[in-house]
Structure 1
């Protein structure tokens, strides 16, 4: 990818975001249920989504220079920073939402492992009939993802130290440390020990010819974009709450919105890679984002909840646990052979449709 000429939107939206934040602080602008409030919300959402896409674009410019798998890792971590900021802002705001982290993490796993994986496999299968990938890398992703999902989303329902689907302070601290250790070991495996598990022979040469000046500009604009999204998160949380109340959405709606916000740009990149017969890159992006979400979101939100004395509900409802277990069972079959086709893609998409149905029609 040539990145010597940065698109106008890649610097325009970060600049607009900084200006919007400054104007809101200077003039006390905020969302209200009125015509002016609707205009405020519309401008906020346009700038926020544009800035998220800009952040991902600059991460991709740097990622192409770094090559695989470092590139997709940088892209994933950039997206997770945005997600953690939005979750923490909403969950720990004036209106406490102790289940938001759980709902968002679960939504990310379902969107990624069913919706995104299904679309990537279907898009690639329709164009190339079959696509190949590294089974060894997929096994590493799934083994860590299954363990982290179980100890953060299922095990809290069966502990006795705290009332409800909660961990005690000691248990939450231990689980947070374990998730960070596992993710650290995964990164070491991905980038040093078994780097070849996560690349195909044609991926290693997929580097850009971006100039050093372009890389420096993208690095600065990436930092500005991430900070701007964090600053916009509070206003976004108010809009999400108002929108959920207006349509009578279930409690899990906010988690899905946050997940879609942060996953949308990365999903576009993953589907594009699958359509260009780079399914390995799609898998790195999709499964990597789900893994990073659990590994980094849970410890970050747990620390914030502890410092502010807020409860943190993690355990899923029985129906959601069934969907989670079914998702991982299907994923093990899908990624167990090294070859995919459209049937695997349709199965994952149908499971994702069931997830959406159970959210809006419990």
Structure 2
């Protein structure tokens, strides 16, 4: 019975989420209803990642990781834009807070959990330094140009770009994302493939055999019909997540205010929500001795998050009243610098240990704590 429910939930949750969307559209939710909608929202996120993984499995790696990362970015952009359109005193910094939270969660949270789980299960899992190092370089460049530079430019005050600067940076971010995707799926595709795979998959013999955790990764690709159905349900799930997130946003802000937590923490909540699918997928891959896939998902999500979100928000800012603040504060810049330095030391050996995972998770804990108590 439980197995049947698990099999039906990816199909049922998008439908339930769509019904909840219609029922709550433009209505103020009570606390109880907001909690129920929040549960449905999480279910819709999990359904979205399931259907994205089905489509990704059909097209193969590393394009599959890109599809999942872009799907998550669509959720993120949709939530940011809808909340910014609603206004509020934290709307001007919401894009910055969410983008920075995505960097910290992916580069420390998802990477840290993946390194820790992979090391606990497989001892000393390996990954491709060339591809992972290239991805980390793109992350550092994107974060520096879009989130650090506006804190020091003098064209506009308060951590803002001028209109010309914002347009220039948006084009750079998009161009860098395209360049990375082209590299990942083109001539250097092999840099982003797992180092160890089962001999039956056509890789070097002596690689570890798949376990139960990883069984889905080596199953036969889904049929075209199943892929099309998943693609439709993926779109439905993404639409429901964006709109339901907007519906519960006032309740989240009220809860944070009652707890004495800064309103800027909304960006952290959004990032945790939209990156939950990536975290689950990356953890499964790490447990299945496919740490490279975990790192592809982690860094690919950051690259898509900044490379697609900033240009989208730049366009949206033309129609949204109020300033767009992208520049990080001193504490955030220090956390970002720590993250990049530790990440370089993590990537350099091409293999992971438990200690590396713990270090990343400690940096994430410091980020969350300082976001709650700045």
Q: State the partner residue of 1:147.
A: 141
Q: 2:324 aligns with which of 300, 308, 312?
A: 312
Q: State the partner residue of 2:28.
A: 30
Q: State the partner residue of 2:186.
A: 192
Q: State the partner residue of 1:108.
A: 102
1:42 aligns with 2:27: no
Preserved contact between residue 13 and residue 54 of structure 1 (Cα < 8 Å):
yes
Does the C-alpha gap of structure 1 residues 341 and 171 become closer, same or farther in structure 2, counting only changes over 3 Å? Answer: same
Q: Distance in 1 between matches of 2:221 and 2:129?
A: 30
Cα drift, residue 113 of structure 1: 0.8
1:284 aligns with 2:277: no
1:331 aligns with 2:343: yes
Does the C-alpha gap of structure 1 residues 94 and 314 become closer, same or farther in structure 2, counting only changes over 3 Å? Answer: closer
Instruction: State the superposition RMSD in angstroms.
Output: 1.7
Q: Distance in 2 between matches of 1:80 and 1:208?
A: 28
- 1:40-77, Cα deviation, whole Å (9 max, x unpaired): 20121011111111111000011112111011111111
Preserved contact between residue 89 and residue 237 of structure 1 (Cα < 8 Å):
no
Q: 2:73 aligns with which of 75, 80, 92?
A: 80
Tell me, what secondary structure is at the counterpart of 1:307?
Answer: coil
1:209 aligns with 2:221: yes
Q: State the partner residue of 1:8.
A: 8
Q: 2:84 aligns with which of 88, 91, 94?
A: 91
- 1:197-219, Cα deviation, whole Å (9 max, x unpaired): 10025387746332222112111
1:273 aligns with 2:285: yes
1:59 aligns with 2:57: no
> Which TM-score applies when normalising by structure 2?
0.90
Q: Distance in 1 between matches of 2:44 and 2:248?
A: 13
Q: Unaligned stretches of 5+ in structure 2?
A: 203-217
> Which TM-score applies when normalising by structure 1?
0.93
Q: Distance in 2 between matches of 1:220 and 1:360?
A: 38
Q: Distance in 2 between matches of 1:78 and 1:59?
A: 7
Q: Distance in 1 between matches of 2:263 and 2:187?
A: 42
Preserved contact between residue 79 and residue 243 of structure 2 (Cα < 8 Å):
no
Cα drift, residue 24 of structure 1: 2.7
Preserved contact between residue 72 and residue 285 of structure 1 (Cα < 8 Å):
yes
Preserved contact between residue 16 and residue 47 of structure 1 (Cα < 8 Å):
yes
Q: Unaligned stretches of 5+ in structure 1?
A: 32-36
Q: 1:257 aligns with which of 263, 269, 280?
A: 269
Larger CA deviation: 6-15 vs 127-136:
6-15
Cα drift, residue 6 of structure 1: 8.3
Preserved contact between residue 199 and residue 281 of structure 1 (Cα < 8 Å):
yes
Q: Distance in 2 between matches of 1:269 and 1:340?
A: 18
Preserved contact between residue 135 and residue 338 of structure 1 (Cα < 8 Å):
yes
1:298 aligns with 2:315: no
- 1:74-113, Cα deviation, whole Å (9 max, x unpaired): 1111111001101111122132511111111111111111
Preserved contact between residue 72 and residue 281 of structure 1 (Cα < 8 Å):
yes
1:181 aligns with 2:193: no
Q: Distance in 2 between matches of 1:145 and 1:209?
A: 31
